[in-house]
A and B are shown apart, each in its own frame.
Chain A
Amino acid sequence: MINFTLNGEARQLDVDPNMPLLWALRDELKMTGTKFGCGVAFCGACTVHVDGFPARSCQTFIGDLEGAEVTTIEGVDTDAAKAVQDAWVELQVPQCGYCQSGQIMSATALLADTPQPTDEDIDAAMENNICRCASYVRIRKAIHRAAEIMEA
């Protein structure tokens, strides 16, 4: 039995401790905002925050989460997250949208840490969030726009 905090609420899960958080979220808790893209920590579609840091939930194991604070796209509501989501809509970033939960979680973590990121900061933070639709031009613009929204 693992105890952890999920989107601000205490949760208990009784599953194989080797189960990746991704599949516990999606198939046990039926929370499907966090997406499955590769399963090998390469594409970033499954990005969540664990104790405030971006983590690939497909390679984060339930057994390692005792006492952790996990935030998913369903629960993220910091100022950075709101600014990112508003900028995403304003600049019409998503195409198919499948990667965007992960993009938004990574962008949110970047802005919490670096409120005025340069293009290089964006490349470094977002490099392992694949968008097969190549919405990258707009992801970059929207992160800059979110930084402006946060400053205002």
Chain B
Amino acid sequence: MLHNLRKHLADPVVQPSRRGFLKLSAGAAGGLLIGAAVPLRSAAQNAQTTELITPFVHITADNKVLVLSKHLDKGQGTATGLATLVAEELGAAADQVEADFAPANVELYANLAFGAQGTGGSTAMPNSWEQYRQAGATARAMLIQAASSEWDVPASDITVLDGVVSGGGNSATFGALAGLAAQQQAPSDVTLKTPDQWKYIGKTFARVDVPQKSRGSLGMFGMDEQPEGGLVAVTARPPRFGAELSSYDASAAMEMDGVMGVFEIPEGIAVVATNTWIAMQARDALELVWDEATGETRGTDELIAEFRALLDQPGSPAEPRGDAAARLANAAQVIEADYFFPYLAHASMEPLDMTVLYDGASAAFWGGSQLQTTDHMMAASTLGLDQDQVEINTKWGGGSFGRRATGDAHLVVEAAHIGKAWLDAENEARPIKLVYSREDDIQGGYYRPMTLYRVRAGLDTDGNIAGFETRIVSQSIISGTPFEQFLVHNGVDHTTVEGIAPTPYSIPDMSVDVHHPQVGVPVLWWRSVGHTHTAYVMETMMDELAEAAGRDPIEFRLAYLDNDPRTAGVLRLAVEKAGAVPEGLHRGIAVHKSFDSYVAEVADIRMREDGTVKVERVVCGVDCGVAINPDNVEAQVEGGLGYGLSAVLREEITLTDGEVDQFNYPDYTPLKISDMPEVEVHLVASTEAPTGIGEPGTPPIGPAIANAIYAATGTRIRELPLSRHGLA
């Protein structure tokens, strides 16, 4: 029976077509800025309307300005950032502006940095900076044209301020003019405000989501979807990544009140019930026999031994400079160090979820989609539908840190399999919410890759760096995803070496080489991706080299930042603002450029009597170009370094015989309020185009703390987390 079931349900997991992806990318690139101007409706429709509807901005008759975010907002404030750009150029009053998410539509809503709709790499604001301001300015021009024709006043005499259009003694709200504005020809060219005219950008614009998020976030998260007639699904997945099911018995589960069905799907056994708790109880009642011989059976100890062996073998070179080996051969002293970074789970507060409604001819999904284009393509191909028969409705993300952006769209695919299994069992179509428990989330893979390093760094007799060799062993995040052709070159996954190859330090003789071993544990980008380890290695080594050279660690760094004034600038700023080291505390510093933003962190720590570390204060210098919303930049740096600190203190995923050892928060312990330092954030005043801030606060915190621990104890920490050393 199992065999028949399998045959019935086994859909091969469909990979997105690379060519399809590229074609979409090219199309999107051509259609970009037109999107800002083209009304979504025909002229005839517009003659009837009382609203102005463009892809990024809707102005309603009741005078609301709704900004459609093409990006997922999972706490990083992007929806507010985009709303700020539109409000600025439109001349809206802040309290009339709301935000919602755009549908999946790659032609209108591609991330201009990717050519696909998606959010990541701290690109949301940089890629939208021109586009959303143009969208606001276009809508404003259409309102002015409408007022001009209505009042018979020249457009040049009409002004827009705080949501009111005025001229020639007349005035009107946006809402009153919206219908007429929709009938105007969108201008082909608009002039954006100059920085001296900005009212919101670089100043204050309250988060659009915060009032609702202070009152229960009702209706915002995918986990909170409660559609009429909705059901819940949980899936029993293999205990080892890639393991196969031999047999199962669902009879006890099927008898439980509230259980609506048990289905074999490619991912495992899905239980569908009326209530999440009942679904979880029924899943526990399944009798499952997994094939012990299949799947990844190595534990982390075996993997570490295999990775260590690779540290002795040359890997694929990434951007070599000069001749590191020759310099090292003649160096006055050579420091050799191995580093270890564990697998890390994202463990967002909202466990993963995805709601599906599939009726055989069309499908709709609701959830925190972070790569809408891949989710859209994979949902359609899994269900054998065209993309225009599939809707992806993006919900606010209860955190993500990278976890909701998967090249294989596994969550949407699994939800699709459940929707299909439900319908194939001759049920009436109903919305089904696939829910991950916390255990599913922590044990479910897609981790920050476990990463080992070997570094050899030399100094000459004058205390200058004489050769810097780095070897990295880390699974590739990108291989096998639609991004491979863009981000993997000559055997080097760019996301593994970003931050060290190249480094902003002008070290003349430097080599980085890489091994990407194949392991059955799925890996993924985790807030700041490769920078999570490259910054740690670079910044602890710079400290160590400065000390071995008998030089001041700040002066030593600045000597190698002659070509990078912005990195040097944030370092100087943070050090100056931090002042003297307070009595009884120990200081470490680190500076790192990631995602085109620059962050220096000065960490002051106290050693508790029990030998553990308490981080008391972190002072940050930040340069992210124009800070669109300075308060949100500060919040992201606070949160970004807190997220990094959490990992540095206690986070580690380990495996025994291929099974993940951690289950839930108690054994994957996140940062608590008593762990959190005071944080001061100082921004560099800048006129450069804005760069991202969701991730760049994370990389410097680990090395800053490690350098402070060295100052306190004389020990160099080269294996994380600190709990391995009794330090947390």
Q: How many residues in A have their beta carbons less than 8 Å from beta carbons of B?
A: 55
Which A residues from 30 to 52 make CB contacts under 8 A with B?
30, 32-40, 42-43, 45
**Complex alpha-carbon distance, A35 and B216, angstroms:** 9
Would B672 and A133 count as touching, CB distance under 8 A? no
Shortest Cβ gap from A130 to chain B (Å): 5
Shortest Cβ gap from A82 to chain B (Å): 11
**Closest A residue, CB atoms, query B349:** A98
Shortest Cβ gap from B468 to chain A (Å): 33
A74-B218, A92-B206, A127-B673 are contacts. A133–B232 as well, Cβ < 8 Å?
A: no
**Complex alpha-carbon distance, A103 and B632, angstroms:** 20
Would A134 and B218 count as touching, CB distance under 8 A? no
Would A27 and B276 count as touching, CB distance under 8 A? yes
> Which one, B178-186, B220-228, B476-484, is touching chain A?
B220-228
Would A138 and B277 count as touching, CB distance under 8 A? no
Would A32 and B631 count as touching, CB distance under 8 A? no
**Complex alpha-carbon distance, A30 and B226, angstroms:** 7
**Closest A residue, CB atoms, query B681:** A137
Which bucket holds chain B's interface residue count?
Answer: 35 or more
Would A97 and B209 count as touching, CB distance under 8 A? yes
Shortest Cβ gap from B447 to chain A (Å): 15
**Closest A residue, CB atoms, query B258:** A16
B158 within 8 A of A: no
- Among A37, A94, A130, A135, the residue within 8 A (CB) of B672 is A130
Would A99 and B277 count as touching, CB distance under 8 A? no
Would A93 and B223 count as touching, CB distance under 8 A? no
Interface string of A88-124 (1 = CB under 8 A from B): 1100111111111100100000000000000000110
- Among A36, A94, A126, the residue within 8 A (CB) of B213 is A94
- Among B224, B639, B665, the residue within 8 A (CB) of A134 is B639
> Which one, B11-19, B306-314, B396-404, is touching chain A?
B396-404
Give the one of B274, B347, B399 with max A CB within 10 A.
B399
B207 within 8 A of A: yes
A19-B277, A89-B211, A130-B670 are contacts. A40–B664 as well, Cβ < 8 Å?
A: yes
B430 within 8 A of A: no
Would B214 and A100 count as touching, CB distance under 8 A? yes
A129 within 8 A of B: yes
**Complex alpha-carbon distance, A93 and B399, angstroms:** 14
Would A43 and B75 count as touching, CB distance under 8 A? no
A42-B666, A127-B672 are contacts. A94–B209 as well, Cβ < 8 Å?
A: yes
A132 within 8 A of B: yes
A20 within 8 A of B: yes
**Complex alpha-carbon distance, A24 and B438, angstroms:** 19
- Among A27, A95, A131, the residue within 8 A (CB) of B76 is A95
Which A residues from 121 to 152 make CB contacts under 8 A with B?
122-123, 126-140
Would A104 and B214 count as touching, CB distance under 8 A? yes
B518 within 8 A of A: no
**Closest A residue, CB atoms, query B641:** A134
Would A97 and B638 count as touching, CB distance under 8 A? no
A85 within 8 A of B: yes
Would A27 and B673 count as touching, CB distance under 8 A? no
A27-B274, A40-B665 are contacts. A129–B214 as well, Cβ < 8 Å?
A: no
Interface string of B665-687 (1 = CB under 8 A from A): 11000111110101100000000
- Complex interface: chain A residues within 8 A of B257 (CB): 16
A26 within 8 A of B: yes
A88-B214, A92-B207, A96-B397 are contacts. A127–B674 as well, Cβ < 8 Å?
A: yes
Would B75 and A96 count as touching, CB distance under 8 A? yes
Q: Which residues of A contact B (CB under 8 A)?
A: 16, 19-20, 22-23, 26-28, 30, 32-40, 42-43, 45, 72-74, 85, 88-89, 92-101, 104, 122-123, 126-140
19 extra A-B contacts, CB within 8 A, seeds A35-B349, A96-B398: A22-B277, A23-B276, A27-B226, A33-B215, A36-B276, A38-B665, A40-B438, A40-B666, A92-B207, A92-B632, A96-B75, A96-B400, A98-B350, A122-B673, A131-B673, A132-B670, A134-B645, A135-B638, A140-B676
